[in-house]
Structure 1
Amino acid sequence: MSTEFDWDDAVESWRKDRRDLGRAAGRVGTASTVNGLLGAKGESDMQALPEKTKPTKVVVAKPGLDGHDRGAKIVARALRDAGMEVVYTGIYQTPESILRAVVQEDADVLGLSSLSGAHLEYAKELGELLRDNDRADVLFVVGGTIPPEDADTLKTYGVHEVFGPGTPTTVLVDYIRDNARNLLA
């Protein structure tokens, strides 16, 4: 016993179930809120609308042979969730490639993640590259397994703040929000 499928019946049944779609266009009209925003003549009053500020752009980088990027990815996600635009360079980056990302992306912040113990060398070179390429306006932060005694040395290289193991992401987010655009002022 075979039954033949009837496409016409199926389409008609679907149309009956979707009849609200056929009537939607007839009910579209001018919303009163649009008239209030645009004025009676439809003229835009853009001066009254608040200016949208661009999000803080952060480059998160992993220099050298440091292949441990779980923490960098967690930080990148926390910054993104806080409304920042984040560019993650990936692992095994050279200082030159990191600088290139900062310049090309016109970044406000450079976050260097280091778990390999080579943070002093990479931070020194990146600090010099930022200054030599007129990007001293970039907020430069370093995080990872950084011994507390290295923090002062890093700051002489141009690093603005150091975040060690166990730093809550909210502390980093707040620091960036408070300091990222203040370097230009």
Structure 2
Amino acid sequence: MKRIYIDNDIGLKLAHYGVLRGLVEYSLERGFELYCLQSLKYIAQRYVDSRSDILDKKAFTEQINYLIGISREPQIGLETIQVLQEIEHSDIDEGELTLIGSAIDNNGCIATGDKRAITATHSFVKTHPGVLSGLGFLTLEQVINMALELFGNDAFDTIKRYCTVDGAINLCFRSGCKNEAQTGLVSFVNSIKSDCIQFTFCNTEDGSLD
């Protein structure tokens, strides 16, 4: 069974862009098992209450609830907890550590929009050879590119409407052209891949998820 561990940050942004449910359904069709943190429900409520740029708050909440409803809760083994206790970095929060630990124990992939957490984890790996190496990631830019491949101009229009939600996505979409946006997304992904060579990254460029 293929497993994806979804960070709160990426869940919120994909729901804001209006593509979360479609991507979740696609992942399930391809045989993936999804995991998310219990805190997502409460963080999503605070998020939607604090944002004035969510035009359809009901649709946003329905997408979040759908993800929570089909997801499982991440679990971590005792040995992995001991390893994670060695990771002390301000750019990695407790929820991200939980996802990292569960992904390690279950050979899963972490979906996150927090590139600082990825690079901070990689810094730990470089100083602790053999620990966490081979960890898999799925970045926000990869997921957005996949949404464009799967859902075409409909996804492009909704993401562009709310592109300021994320700095990197905003840069990619400001040209107003789908092809240029995808070129920018791939460039961001290649950059983080080159910075984090100890990790693996899912393939999403052709709309697949492998």
Give the TM bin, normalised by the shorter chain.
0.3 to 0.5
**Structure whose residues are more often helix by fraction:** 2
The structure with higher relative contact order (CA 8 Å, sep 6+) is: 2
TM-score (norm 1): 0.43
